[in-house]
């Protein structure tokens, strides 16, 4: 199915039959990305007496319990409820699911203290006010290790809070990144990047979301895409998610 849309006074088409999946599949066990010391996902069949919810074990159906942590086990989308004292659910904060997204690729800057940080100036060179509703940040190096990287106690790269403030100034409502968090792993609970993006607590941006632990293959080129963020119906601050990109083709006016 091909749809037509207008963006920045130009007409585009997008083929919805050709999605580019930038989510990471969640599996049972250790073959997943992991961060903040979360337990690994567990998919276990229900057992009741001689009955087992596994066809591999002789059961008539597969009927499994699933245990996971949305923030620690894979691609997820979160709202301001992640850091707020008040209750905010991702179900209430994410009401629209299609956006124009700018995909950019950056090498985090290595500082003297050893931290690797995405700085404001790096982002300002690639996106300006009004350029897009959404930004997808792919960090380098970029390889398949991101599909099962254990980030716990590894001090992974993060985004400087001034860069997040700049994104807000640019009108970015939804941020997607392949990092496990926009903040430093150990930051004494300051959460400066999260707070800057959500403008919390002064003026909470209830409709803004952050999606972490995406994976964008190298074959996908930087540029503008149609983005669809798919979430599960969990009444939580975050949900596992399945963001999809669709290539945009410029077309003339009918």
- Domains in the chain: ranges and CATH: 2-26+70-251 (3.50.30.50)
**CB 231 within 8 Å of CB 210:** no
User: Distance (Å, rounded) from C-alpha 248 to C-alpha 152?
Assistant: 37
d(CA 95, CA 72) in angstroms, rounded, equals 24
Q: What are the per-10-residue average pLDDT scores of the chain (254 residues)?
A: 84 95 97 96 97 98 97 97 98 96 97 96 96 96 94 96 98 98 96 98 97 98 97 97 96 68
How far is the CA of 32 from the CAs of 27, 93, 146, in angstroms? 6, 27, 9
Q: What is the pLDDT of residue 165?
A: 98
pLDDT of residue 6: 85
> Using an 8 Å Cβ cutoff, are 139 and 157 in contact?
yes
- Radius of gyration (Cα) for the chain, nearest Å? 19
SS3 163: helix
Q: What is the pLDDT of residue 252?
A: 73
């Amino acid at each position: 199915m091909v749809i037509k849309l207008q963006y920045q006074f130009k007409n585009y088409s997008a083929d919805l039959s050709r999605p580019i999946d930038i989510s990471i599949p969640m599996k049972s066990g250790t073959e997943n990305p992991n961060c903040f010391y979360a337990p690994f996902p567990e998919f276990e069949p229900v057992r009741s007496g001689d009955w087992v919810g596994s066809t591999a074990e002789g059961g008539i159906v597969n009927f499994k319990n699933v245990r996971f942590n949305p923030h620690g086990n894979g691609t997820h989308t979160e709202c301001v409820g992640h850091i707020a004292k008040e209750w905010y659910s991702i179900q209430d904060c994410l009401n629209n699911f299609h956006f124009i997204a700018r995909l950019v690729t950056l090498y985090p800057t290595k500082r003297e203290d050893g931290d690797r940080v995405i700085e404001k100036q790096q982002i300002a060179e690639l996106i300006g006010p009004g350029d897009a509703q959404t930004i997808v940040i792919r960090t380098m190096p970029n390889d398949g290790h991101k599909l099962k990287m254990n980030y716990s106690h590894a001090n992974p790269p993060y985004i400087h809070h001034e860069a997040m403030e700049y994104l807000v100034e640019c009108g970015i409502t939804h941020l997607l990144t392949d990092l496990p968090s926009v903040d430093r792993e150990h930051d004494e609970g300051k959460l400066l990047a999260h707070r800057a993006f959500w403008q919390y607590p002064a003026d909470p941006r209830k409709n803004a979301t952050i999606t972490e632990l995406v994976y964008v293959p190298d074959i996908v080129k930087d540029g503008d895409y149609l983005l669809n963020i798919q979430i599960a119906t969990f009444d939580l601050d975050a949900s596992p998610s399945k963001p999809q990109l669709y290539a945009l083709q410029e077309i003339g006016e009918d």
